[in-house]
Amino acid sequence: MDIDKEFESLWALYPNKQGKVNAKKKYVEARATGTTYNEVLKGIEKYIRYCDSQKSWYRPKMGSTWFNQHCWLDEIDEGETDKDIAKDNFGNIIL
């Protein structure tokens, strides 16, 4: 698969499609320095699961931000869900 098709397939999965031009630029740079398509794919899949588990409060990062910050490398605790977060009667998170 060529790099344009790789990026388009990843972009199709990413939940917040803002900043496509910058996201693609950062993906191409990351691929040139050794990052693999599968690393990014697994990162997006993990991030989508995390976003889905935090639906009541979490908004996905802009696509350009996620790719720029190489967020596929982030360590995400997928074990915590909205149900695990203490909230007051108005739905605000209690710290």
DSSP letters spanning the chain: --HHHHHHHHHHH-S----HHHHHHHHHHHHHTT--HHHHHHHHHHHHHHHHHTTTT--PPPHHHHHHTTGGG----TT--GGGS-B-TTSPBP-
Q: Which pLDDT belongs to residue 54?
A: 80
Q: What is the pLDDT of residue 78?
A: 64
Which pLDDT value is given to residue 58? Answer: 80
pTM of the full structure: 0.78
Going residue by residue through the chain, which has 95 residues, state the pLDDT in tens, using 9 for 90 and above.
Answer: 899 999 999 999 999 999 999 999 999 999 999 999 999 999 999 999 988 888 777 889 999 999 999 999 998 876 655 555 566 666 665 65
pLDDT given for residue 76 in this prediction: 81
